[in-house]
Structure 1
Amino acid sequence: MELRHLRYFVSVVDMGSLSKASALLLVSQPSLSQQIAAMEYDLGVPLLLRSAAGVKPTDAGTKLYRHARIVLRQLQELEADIANEGSGAVGPVAVGLPTSIASVLAVPLVERLRKDHPGVKLQLFESFSGYLNELLANGRLDMAILFRSSDAPGISVRPLFTEELSVFGAPDIGDINAATCDLALLAGVPMVLPERTNGLRVLVERAFSEAGVALNVTCDIDSLPVMMKLVRNGDFATINSSGVARAAEIPILARRLINPVVKRTVSLCQPTGIPQSAAALAAEETIRTLAREHAAIWDKASD
């Protein structure tokens, strides 16, 4: 198997289509199909599930994709390190940020890396934590900030800080001039929250259940900007990081939840067993520095 075969396969999986991948790679579709078929023959297993909607990797294809991503990224880092010997940290680094964290750290991260490490090419992914965890497991990311406090198989977890959650909106509930809101006051209040498998949703549902408070989720929305727009329109409330309110360009009613206080650990997560490049080490150091510098937005930044 040659490196070009790995590049072909990664492109096909990323695009979800042989025709789109062939256009990107400037390779004819019949030739690309033959290359993939040859890989399947050599490995003795099917790598792609083909349908009218496109292609998806099989279980074996997913394993190949994950390893191919790592190999290709390490090759790219090797070429950059050799070409820029003595020039400091160089090469690509892929970082994932949840939307709520990106609202605070994304711009400073881009600016600080460009200033302190101009040879580092940052690839920044912003999404909900569940998708970022998938990208991290598949080798698409060098690191991601996720809401977890303990290691997982193949993933190291290093806490950055702990954040408290706030209720956004609900102007008719409690004292809008107060800094806090008792969770019991939110019984039956129409809420918009991420879908039920989302970590934030699980945390909120657990807090309401343990407090014996009725949670009224009227709509599942996997978009922080859309949720905040609905909150500003006045028909719904939501629950999210207190840092979102403090970093918001447009003021929004937000009060920290109490009785109970609802907290979550925010950690920098990285794959284990893969040597970190100089670019990845520079990005990690920068993220930790920025977390400390922005500690006032959250409760406490870890060393």
Structure 2
Amino acid sequence: MRVRQLESFVCVCESGSITRAAAILNIVQPALGSQITALEQELGVQLLDRSPRGIKTTPAGQYFLEEARDLLGRFATIKKNIKNFNNSEPGHLSIGLTASLSMLLAAPLAQEFNRQNWSAKVHIIEDISHNLPERIARGEIDLALAFDVAPHKTVDCTPVLMESIFFVTGPTTEFNKQGPIDLAELSRATFVISTEKSQIIQLVKQAMEQLHLPLDVTYQIESKQAIKGLIAQGTASAFLPYGVVAREVEAGTLIARKIANPPLTRTLFLLQPLAHPVFGHAEAALRIIEKFIAHLAENVAFELIEPTGQPRLYRGRASQP
């Protein structure tokens, strides 16, 4: 079994057609078909159901597809990390952040990494929490911070902070007081959201449904700036992470209140590859990220999660406190 066969099989499955996959891989269709057939013969099981309308994975094929993706991710990570042993190559280091964390951390992290004067180039990438574990697994990102991620068999997900969800309103609304606000009071507010699929909105809906409270979502706008403008006018309120509105709250154009009874929170995880220890620049980057996590814990929105008998952040060579 060769890496090329795994890449070809994954491409065929994702494109849904050997013809399309052959065009993507820039090889002739019979050669690609022979690769898949040889793979099935080696494994002793049919991986694909072929028909004039395209191909579909068999149950064995679906299982093998997931394993092949994991293997290709590990190969990519190994290929990338092995370059760290060659001092003649400067290398690259990628850090993944969510949008709200990016507003709080991207600039200071970039400045701190720049001060290190490393030979490696550091790239800070913004993406949604759901995508970051898979990007770690595929070797596209070295380290990441993401919220409420599911367990992953090739990614170490360490909880580091608990973040409060805030009720954000304008200074002219009836809710323009300081301090926490009970969830029950929010049944009287009108809300704007960016998407129904948001982690925060799902958390809010679940909490309000448990208390049999209505949720009035009148506006749906994908632009964060437009949402903040609507809130500042007093037209609607929103459920948002503090990082999204920190500047406006400090300027007094928006008001952010923690939600109480019950409090609404989500967990921030540090993500890193599980298959191997971090080393070199990645190890140093972990120490820097730990410092910034401790700094975030001083923010009104965050609370540090203490370790339970395990080192808080580091694995492998980076496991010293």
Q: Which amino acid aligns with 1:253?
A: L
Q: Which amino acid aligns with 1:201?
A: I
Gapped runs of 5+ residues in structure 2?
306-311, 313-321
Which of 262, 265, 268 is the matching residue for 2:264? 262
Asked whether the equivalents of residues 40 and 47 of structure 1 are also in contact (C-alpha less than 8 Å), the reply is no
Q: Which amino acid aligns with 1:299?
A: F
Asked whether the equivalents of residues 66 and 139 of structure 1 are also in contact (C-alpha less than 8 Å), the reply is no
Rate the CA distance shift 1:175–1:65 in 2: closer, same or farther, 3 A: closer
Rate the CA distance shift 1:177–1:137 in 2: closer, same or farther, 3 A: same
Which of 289, 302, 319 is the matching residue for 1:299? 302
Q: Which amino acid aligns with 1:66?
A: D
Task: Give the Cα separation in 2 of the matches to 1:20 and 1:116.
Answer: 46
Output one character per residue of 1:139-190: Cα deviation in whole Å (capped at 9) or x when no partner.
Answer: 5443332224996655433333222221223555435253544433321423
**1:272 paired to 2:274:** yes
Matches within 5 A, 1:206-225: 206-218=206-218, 224-225=224-225
Asked whether the equivalents of residues 22 and 32 of structure 2 are also in contact (C-alpha less than 8 Å), the reply is no
SS for the counterpart of 2:288 is helix
Q: Could you say which residue in structure 1 is the equivalent of 2:71?
A: 67
Q: Which amino acid aligns with 2:254?
A: L
Which of 272, 282, 294 is the matching residue for 2:284? 282
Matches within 5 A, 1:186-201: 186-193=186-193, 195-201=195-201
Task: Give the Cα separation in 2 of the matches to 1:31 and 1:123.
Answer: 40
Matches within 5 A, 1:224-243: 224-225=224-225, 227-232=227-232, 234-243=234-243
SS for the counterpart of 1:205 is helix
Task: Give the Cα separation in 1 of the matches to 2:31 and 2:250.
Answer: 49
- Choose 211-220 or 200-209, whichever is displaced more: 211-220
**1:253 paired to 2:254:** yes
1:74 CA displacement = 0.9
1:11 CA displacement = 8.0
Q: Which amino acid aligns with 1:72?
A: A
Q: Could you say which residue in structure 1 is the equivalent of 2:308?
A: none
Task: Give the Cα separation in 2 of the matches to 1:14 and 1:121.
Answer: 32
Rate the CA distance shift 1:129–1:47 in 2: closer, same or farther, 3 A: farther
1:84 CA displacement = 0.8
SS for the counterpart of 1:187 is helix
Identity %: 22
SS for the counterpart of 2:131 is helix
The structure with more radius of gyration: 2
Rate the CA distance shift 1:263–1:185 in 2: closer, same or farther, 3 A: same
The TM-score with structure 1 as length reference comes to 0.72
Asked whether the equivalents of residues 191 and 216 of structure 1 are also in contact (C-alpha less than 8 Å), the reply is yes
Task: Give the Cα separation in 2 of the matches to 1:282 and 1:50.
Answer: 52
The TM-score with structure 2 as length reference comes to 0.69
SS for the counterpart of 1:84 is coil
Task: Give the Cα separation in 2 of the matches to 1:74 and 1:99.
Answer: 28
Q: Which amino acid aligns with 2:104?
A: V
Matches within 5 A, 1:94-133: 94-116=94-116, 118-133=118-133
Asked whether the equivalents of residues 5 and 35 of structure 1 are also in contact (C-alpha less than 8 Å), the reply is no
SS for the counterpart of 2:130 is helix
**1:81 paired to 2:84:** yes
Task: Give the Cα separation in 1 of the matches to 2:51 and 2:170.
Answer: 48
- Choose 64-73 or 257-266, whichever is displaced more: 257-266
Q: Which amino acid aligns with 2:68?
A: L
- Choose 200-209 or 174-183, whichever is displaced more: 174-183
Output one character per residue of 1:19-48: Cα deviation in whole Å (capped at 9) or x when no partner.
Answer: 9998998x4675985686467555565479
Task: Give the Cα separation in 1 of the matches to 2:20 and 2:287.
Answer: 37
Task: Give the Cα separation in 1 of the matches to 2:122 and 2:31.
Answer: 30
Which portions of structure 1, spanning 4 or more consecutive aligned residues, are displaced by more than 6 angstroms? Answer: 7-25, 47-53
Q: Which amino acid aligns with 1:146?
A: A
Q: Which amino acid aligns with 1:67?
A: L
1:68 CA displacement = 0.7
SS for the counterpart of 2:95 is strand
SS for the counterpart of 2:165 is strand
Task: Give the Cα separation in 2 of the matches to 1:193 and 1:3.
Answer: 44
Q: Which amino acid aligns with 2:193?
A: L
CA RMSD in angstroms, aligned pairs only: 4.4
Q: Which amino acid aligns with 2:218?
A: T
1:63 CA displacement = 2.4
Asked whether the equivalents of residues 183 and 257 of structure 1 are also in contact (C-alpha less than 8 Å), the reply is no
Q: Which amino acid aligns with 1:187?
A: S
Rate the CA distance shift 1:83–1:145 in 2: closer, same or farther, 3 A: same
